[in-house]
Amino acid sequence: MDKTSPLYAQRHSAAHLLALAVKEQFDGAQLGTGPVTEHGFYYDVRTSTPITDADLKTLEKIIKKRIAQRLPFVRDEMSLEEARVLFAERNEPYKLELIDKIADRGAESVSVYRTGDSFVDLCEGPHVEHSGEINAKALKLTTLSGAYWQADEHNDQMTRIYGVLFSTPEELAEYEAMLREAARRDHRKLGKALDLFTFSDLVGPGLPLWTPRGALLRQLLDDYVWELRANHSYTRVAIPHITKKALYETSGHWQKFADELFRITSREGKDYAMKPMNCPHHTQIFARKPHSYRELPQRYAETTMVYRDEQSGELGGLTRVLSITQDDAHIFCRHNQLREEFFGVWDIIDTFYTTFGFTFKTVRLSFHDPDHPEKYLGTPDTWAKAEQTLRDIAAARGVDAEEAPGEAALYGPKVDFIATDSLGRTHQVATIQLDMNLPERFDLTCINEAGEKERIVMIHCAIMGSLERFIAVLLEHTAGKLPVRFAPVQAVVLPISDAHREYAMHVRDNLTATGARVDVRADGTTLGKRIRDAQTEQIPYMLIVGDQEVSTNTVAVRSRDDGDLGTMDYEAVRTCLES
Amino acid sequence: MDKTSPLYAQRHSAAHLLALAVKEQFDGAQLGTGPVTEHGFYYDVRTSTPITDADLKTLEKIIKKRIAQRLPFVRDEMSLEEARVLFAERNEPYKLELIDKIADRGAESVSVYRTGDSFVDLCEGPHVEHSGEINAKALKLTTLSGAYWQADEHNDQMTRIYGVLFSTPEELAEYEAMLREAARRDHRKLGKALDLFTFSDLVGPGLPLWTPRGALLRQLLDDYVWELRANHSYTRVAIPHITKKALYETSGHWQKFADELFRITSREGKDYAMKPMNCPHHTQIFARKPHSYRELPQRYAETTMVYRDEQSGELGGLTRVLSITQDDAHIFCRHNQLREEFFGVWDIIDTFYTTFGFTFKTVRLSFHDPDHPEKYLGTPDTWAKAEQTLRDIAAARGVDAEEAPGEAALYGPKVDFIATDSLGRTHQVATIQLDMNLPERFDLTCINEAGEKERIVMIHCAIMGSLERFIAVLLEHTAGKLPVRFAPVQAVVLPISDAHREYAMHVRDNLTATGARVDVRADGTTLGKRIRDAQTEQIPYMLIVGDQEVSTNTVAVRSRDDGDLGTMDYEAVRTCLES
C-alpha cells in the first residue's frame, strides 16, 4: 500500500505498539521486524514462554490502552555505533543484525522511533505523531503463526502476531464479514460438497486425487483454453515427468532450484529429478531438428504436472500442493515476433478471465532483483533488454503496470496477471514470461533469410497457471456456483416417484444425446432430500418429473440460482444448459 | 510351439549340436540351457575366451558337418547320483545345479541324450533319431547376446547364441525376408521419418519426447479409445504421479515391486515413490465416500504415465521405456456384474484392434505360478476362484484360450490379448485383469440391498496398454502408413510455384474449417522434393495446385498408397480425408 497514506503510518505505528505490548508482557522478548500488510500489520517476536491465542486479548488491551494515552512517536537519527550500543543494551540481537546489514549497504547513520518512555525501535518510518491518531475501535489482533527469522529455515523460529487496522470500525466490520464469507466459500469445503477432489492419508497431503466430477471440470477448463488457443496455431507436445540430472545442469535448475527439487537415484546409481518445470524438456523437442525462420513461431502447449518438494507445514487444500498441473506453453520465436506473440497470449488471458467474471485492475511486471544477480541466469545486459521489452509491451497494451523487482523467474522477467475476485481479494493467476537465457543455454536457433544460424527467444506462458490453484480461486470466487458451461453435472432429473423413473431416464437420454451432462437421481429418498442434495452440490438445474410432466412431455425446472422456473419442454431446457 | 511336432524335435536337436560345436571349438566351455524358440533355438554358454560374430560361421559349419554325419541321438535314463558324477567329470557346474533343482522337485532319476561319441546333455527330449533329420539348408546361426544364468542378474553372465531352423530352405528365406522388412519398418526409423518422437541425451534414454505430430497421434488414439468407452459410462479421474510409501505398503507393491520402483526421499526425509501403476491411487478415489450398490459399477479411466526403474541396457526406442503412458481403467463392481463388465471391455478391445487390422488368434489366460505363491497377493482360494471365473468368461466368449501359469499380475489373473501384426509377429497388447485382492487390502465395499457392507471386486483394463508400445507396434504393422483418420497430417497442399501459394492457403483453410488436418508446404524447394518429402513422411494425400487448379477451383490429388488420383473438387478431397 501507499507509504504516504495516513493509514500506512497508523498500521506501522500499531505494529510498534504491538511490539511494546509484547516487551511489557513477556520478559526478555526479542524483536524481529514488524511491517505493514494488506489489511493491517504483523510483528515477529521471540519469547521464552510461548505466546498463545489467549494472550492475543491481553496484548490487544495493552495496545488500546497505549492508544488512549496519545503516546508521541519521536524520530531520532543516530550513528551506527550509537544504535549498536542502544540495541545491545536492550538485548535485541536481531536488531543488531539489521544494523549490520544497513552498514553493509554503506549507510552511516540509522533512524529509530521512540514511543513513550520505554519503547524504541529501529525504523525508517513514517509514523503517526502520537498514538491517538490510531482508531482503537478499528484495530484487532487476529492470529498467530510461526516464522523463521528473515524467512530462512536455518534461522531461529519466531512467533508472528497478526493484527488488522482500518480507518473506521465500519471498515473493520466489513473486512470481518468478508472473512466469514470467505470461510463459507473455503474451496476445501466446496470441493467436498461438490465432490470434486479428495485427499487420502495413504497418498499424503499436497497430493489431490480428482474424482470423476473434478477430473471433468479440469478437462472442461483445459478444453476451453485449447479452444482459445485454436486461432493461434498451438500444437500439443508430451514429455516424461522425469529427466536425467544433465538437463537441469544445463538449464541451471539443478543449482538454483536446490531444495524444491524431488531427486531420484536409479537402481544403477544415476541421478534423475522429477520435473519442477517443463521448459527444459520442451527446448529438447524444439532442438530435435533445424528450423527455418519460415517455421517460426513454434507454439508448444501441454497440460502436465510439475513437482515441488514443499515443506509439509505449507501444504493445504489445493493452494499449495506437491504436484501442480500447469497448462503450460512455450513459444519459440524471433525477436521481431515478440510483441505480436505477447499480444496473442494476452488476448487469450483477457477472454478467459472475463468469462469467469474476474477483473484485472493491474498487471505486475516481475523484474529481477538488481541487488541479487546471483539468483538468476544471464547477464545484466540481457535482463535490461528483456525488462525494457516488457515495459514497452505493457505500455503498448495500455494497462496499468506495476514493477516488482525480485519477482522475476530464474530465466527472465514476467508479466503477471493479478485477478480480483468477487470478494475483492487478489490472486496471481496467468503469466507471460520472456526468456533470453534458456535459448542461450540450450543453443536454440533458427536459420534466417541469410542462411545463418540466428539465436531465438522463448516465451513461457500459462493461462490458468496451476489448475489446482485456479480451481480453488474459481470455487471461492463463485461460491461453488460454477458457470453452467463448466458444471460437471449441468442438470439432474428427479422423478417424484418410482412410477416416473422411466420417463426421467428418457429425459436424460434426450438431453445427453446433444452433449448435455445430465444425471437421473432416483435413490429411493424423498424429493425434498434430493432437491436439497442437488442444491448443496450446486447443480445448475433440477428437472422434476411427475404425472403432469409425463403426460405433457415436459419437465418442471428449478434453478440453483433462481428457484422455480416453471414447466419447460426439452428445447427450452437445452437452451438453459447451453447458456 | 507344439512339443510333439517334428520341427520341435529338430530345433531342440540343433540346439544340442550347437552346444557340441561350442564344446569342440572353445576349450573348457560350460553349458547352461538351450531351449526351442519361436523360429529356432538358442544355447547359453560360458567360455573363457569371448565368442564373437566371426565365430558364428565356424560354429555353423561344425553343426552342418555333424548333421551330414547322421549322428544318432540316444536317450539314457540314470539315477541322480550317476548324473552328478557324469556332469561333474565333464566340468558342467550349471548342469549340476539343474540336477539339484530336479532333485528338489522329488524326482529320483533324470534323462540325458547322447549325440555321437563325445557329447551328452541333461535333457527331457524329445529329439530326432539322428541328426540327418535336420535340414542343414534351413539352419542358420543368427546373433549373440548376453544373458544371466537363470535370468538372475546376480548370477554369472553367459553368452546366448541364437539360431533359426525351419523345415525347408524356402521357409528360411521367407523368414529372412520378413526380418529385412521388419528392419525397414523399425519404429525408431519411422518415428524420425514421420517426426513423431525424439530422444535427448540430456533427458536420457527410455524417456521419449513427443513432438507436435507425435503428441497429436497419441491424442487421436486416446480420443478413439474414449469414443469407444462412451457407450459404457466411463468417467475420467486424475491422480498425482507420486505417493507416500504408505499407499504401496498397503497395496503390497512396496515389498513386491522392489527394484523397479523409483524411490524419492523428500527434504523432510519422507519416503515417496513414483507410481509404477495407477490402481492403488484409484482405489482411494473410490474409497472417498460410501457407495450404494445402485452406484455400481463405477468405471474410472485415465491416460497417465507410470514409471519403472529399468536397467539402461534394456532400454530401446519405444518398446522399453522408463515412463510408460497407460490408457488405464479400473472398474469397481459387484461379483455378479463381473461377466457383463468383462464383455464390455472385450467389445471395446475387439473394435479397437479390428480398426487397425490386427487379428487375435488366441487370448492368453495369465494365471499365477502355483509353485511360487509368495510372488502374489492373496490366498490360494481367492486365486482358484478368480482363475475359474476367467476360464468361464473366455469359454462364454467362445475364443481359443491358452493358459499361462506364472504370467499373472501381482493381484490377480489376466486375460491378455496377443495381436498378430502384418508380418505375422505377435505382440501382447490389451489386458483385462480380475482382482479380488486390492479390494481386500483397501477394504473396498458397497452398501448392498440389505443395508450391509459387501466386498466388491476390481477389474483392471487397458485398451492400448502402453501407448509407447502400441505406437511402436502400429508403426511397424503399417510400415508408417497410419490410417487417414489417425495421420497427424492428413494432406499437404503443394503449390507448384510461388504464384499458387495464396490459392494453396485457400485450399488448406477450406479443408481445415471442417476439421481436416492439412498443411501447406511452400518452402522454396522443387515440387519433386516436396513430393518425396511428403512420401517419406507418409502423409496420406498430396494436393498439388498450379494454374489449371487455380482456374477450375480444384486440386490434383496424389495418394501415398496409390499415386496419382487425378483432379478433384474440395468435396471429393473431403471424402478421401474422412475415409
pLDDT 10s digits, A96-131: 999 999 999 888 899 999 998 889 999 988 999 999
Task: Determine which one of B460, B469, B477, B560 is catalytic.
Answer: B460
Task: Answer yes or no: do A267 and B294 touch at CB < 8 A.
Answer: no
Query: What's the whole-number average pLDDT of chain A?
Result: 93
* Confidence category of residue A182, pLDDT binned at 50, 70, 90: confident
E strands, A283-377, in order: 298-307, 323-333, 359-367
Tell me which of A154, A195, A196, A200 to substitute to probe the interface with B (most B C-beta atoms closer than 10 Å): A200
Length of chain B: 579
Block residue for cell numbers 510439475: A306
| Residues A236, B212: C-beta atoms closer than 8 Å | yes
The average pLDDT across A52-59 equals 95
Beta strands at A359-367 and A401-405: parallel, antiparallel or unpaired: parallel
Given a cut of 80, whether residue A361 has pLDDT beyond it is no
**Pick the residue with more confidence: A1 or B435?**
B435
Nearest-CB residue to B207 (from A243, A250, A307) = A243
Contact A499, A507 (CB under 8 A): no
User: What per-residue confidence (pLDDT) applies to A324?
Assistant: 95
C-alpha pair distances (Å), B568 with each of A56, A209, B507: 83, 52, 12
Residue found under cell 565333464: B90
Q: Name the band, by pLDDT with cuts 50, 70 and 90, for residue B375.
A: confident
Shortest CB distance from B240 goes to which of A207, A212, A288? A207
Report the alpha-carbon distance of residue B333 to residue B348 in Å, rounded.
18
pLDDT at residue A315 tops 80 = no
Look up residue B385 and give its three cell numbers.
476362484
- pLDDT tier at B316, thresholds 50, 70, 90: confident
The H or E element containing residue A275 is none
**Which chain A residues are within 8 Å of B208, Cβ to Cβ?**
240
Give the DSSP H/E element, type plus range, for residue A295.
Answer: none
The answer to whether residue B460 is catalytic is yes
Neighbouring C-alpha atoms within 13 Å toward the C-beta of A560? 23
Cell numbers standing for residue B312: 539402461
Spell out which residues of chain A touch residue B288, defining contact as CB-CB under 8 Å: 195, 198, 200, 209, 211
Q: How far is A295 from chain B (nearest CA, A)?
A: 9
What is the total residue count of chain A? 579
Give the whole-angstrom CA distance, residue A391 versus residue A410. 19
On chain B, the residues whose CB falls within 8 A of the CB of A259 are: 267
pLDDT recorded at residue B259: 81
Strand positions, DSSP E, B116-211: 119-122, 139-148, 157-165, 197-198, 209-210
Residues of chain A positioned with their CB less than 8 A from the CB of B239: 209-210
Neighbours of A6 (CB within 10 A): 12
Q: Is residue A446's pLDDT more than 90?
A: yes
What are the beta bridge partners of residue A113?
Answer: A75, A121
What end-to-end distance do the CA atoms of chain A give, in Å?
A: 40
Question: Cβ B202–A274 below 8 Å, yes or no?
Answer: no
Asked whether the predicted pLDDT for residue B97 surpasses 90, the reply is yes
Tell which residue, A231, A262, A185, A207, has the closest CA to residue A482: A185
pLDDT higher at A285 or B371: A285
Is the pLDDT reported for residue B418 higher than 80? Answer: yes
A253-257, B407-411, B526-530: which is most confident: B526-530
Annotated catalytic residue, options B140, B281, B308, B517: B308
pLDDT in tens, A70-98: 999 999 999 999 999 999 999 999 999 99
**What is the model's pLDDT at position A392?**
93
pLDDT in tens, B499-522: 999 999 999 999 999 999 999 999
- Give the confidence band of A4 by pLDDT, cuts at 50, 70, 90: confident
The contacts of residue B551 (CB under 8 Å, 6+ apart) are none
Chain B residues in contact with A446 (beta carbon < 8 A): none
- Annotated active-site residue B414? The verdict is yes
Q: Which residues of B touch A218 (CB under 8 A)?
A: 238
Average pLDDT rounded to a whole number, residues B417-424: 90
- For A208, the 3-state DSSP assignment is coil
Is residue B361's pLDDT more than 80? no
Contact A238 B210 (CB under 8 A): yes
The C-alpha of A345 sits at a distance from chain B's nearest C-alpha, in angstroms, of: 19
* pLDDT at A346 (0 to 100): 95
Measured over the CA atoms of residue B230, residue B232, residue B233 and residue B236, the dihedral's sign is negative
Measured between CA atoms, the residue of chain B closest to residue A209 is: B239
Higher-confidence residue: B6 or B258? B6
Q: Which residue has the higher pLDDT, A188 or B411?
A: A188
Taking the CA atoms of residue B409, residue B412, residue B413 and residue B419 in that order, the dihedral angle to the nearest 10 degrees is -40
**Smallest Cβ distance to A236: which of B204, B216, B237?**
B216
Does pLDDT of B60 surpass 90? yes
Mean pLDDT score, A534-563: 96
- Residue B333 a catalytic site member: no
Q: What percent of chain B has pLDDT over 70?
A: 100
Counting one residue from A and one from B, how many pairs have CB atoms under 8 Å apart?
186
Q: Which residues of A are catalytic?
A: 279, 308, 326, 328, 330, 414, 460
At residue A152, the pLDDT reads 84
What average pLDDT does range B434-454 have in this prediction? 95
Query: Of B328, B416, B421, B435, which is the active-site residue?
Result: B328
Shortest CB distance from B292 goes to which of A209, A243, A523?
Answer: A523
Contact B284 A209 (CB under 8 A): yes
Mean pLDDT calculated for residue range B65-84: 94
- Position B424 scores a pLDDT of 86
